[in-house]
Chain A
Amino acid sequence: GENVEQHPSTLSVQEGDSAVIKCTYSDSASNYFPWYKQELGKRPQLIIDIRSNVGEKKDQRIAVTLNKTAKHFSLHITETQPEDSAVYFCAASSQGAQKLVFGQGTRLTINP
């Protein structure tokens, strides 16, 4: 089955700097890659997703890139702000997005 590895497990950056979180997946049939943000004590919420027919997708300060050959995808957050502090999860799916396999999560802290 699919296996998703996420790095780093914790990341601390200065406000205004960029943050990058990386994930690798094992199943070459995976074709859907969402990123979820979870604030402390809250539910996970989708922030951006990408499908395997696209190499990059941007939404304001966040972007996701996908390298199908290497089987890895990354989340990029630019001009970080204190409200970006949260745990971020990547996920991958090959079955019409029904069975998401999540990475272990990255705790991002933005230092003022």
Chain B
Amino acid sequence: NAGVTQTPKFQVLKTGQSMTLQCAQDMNHNSMYWYRQDPGMGLRLIYYSASEGTTDKGEVPNGYNVSRLNKREFSLRLESAAPSQTSVYFCASSLGASGTYEQYFGPGTRLTVT
């Protein structure tokens, strides 16, 4: 099992450009998440999908959109990148069933917006 995979690993964008971060999991998990990690601020939830076909906002959703393409894949889109979106982005997944809460993280995408 590959677990949670993310592409790309690194990306540099100019202000105003758009891009999509891809995430996939092969653990048959129901729930998937997108976080951003900034120095000194821990991990902040951007969006999550409790199950296939549903998505909900987290703490910092502004400037982002998501798509739960199927049970395995959950993508994050930046429509018009801004320097404030420079960050490390982590995708995570969890079984989502009662009693099994552990979130498994992907390796992260380091995004720089100039």
Total number of A residues with any Cβ neighbor in B under 8 Å: 24
Give 1 or 0 for each of A49-76: 1 = CB within 8 Å of chain B CB: 1000000000000000000000000000
In angstroms, how far is the closest chain A Cβ from the Cβ of B74? 14
CB-CB contacts of B83-107 with A at 8 A, as 1s and 0s? 0000000100010101001110111
Within the complex, which residue of A43, A89, A100 is in contact with B45, where a contact is CB–CB below 8 Å?
A100
Is A44 within 8 A of B102, CB to CB? no
The contact of B101 among A9, A42, A49, by CB within 8 Å, is A49
Main secondary structure of the interface of A (DSSP, over half): loop
Minimum distance in angstroms from B113 CB to a CB of chain A? 21
Contact with B along A84-101 (1 / 0, CB 8 A): 000001010100111111
Chain B residues near A9: list those with CB within 8 A: 40
**What is the interface size of chain B, counting residues whose CB is below 8 A from a CB of the partner?**
22
The 9 sampled A-B contact pairs (Cβ below 8 Å) are A34-B102, A42-B107, A43-B106, A49-B101, A97-B101, A98-B31, A100-B103, A103-B42, A105-B40
Kindly list the 8 A-B residue pairs having the minimum CB-CB distance in the complex, ordered from nearest. A97-B101, A102-B42, A43-B105, A102-B43, A104-B42, A46-B102, A44-B105, A105-B42
| Interface residues of A, Cβ cutoff 8 Å to B | 1, 6, 9, 32, 34, 42-46, 49, 89, 91, 93, 96-105
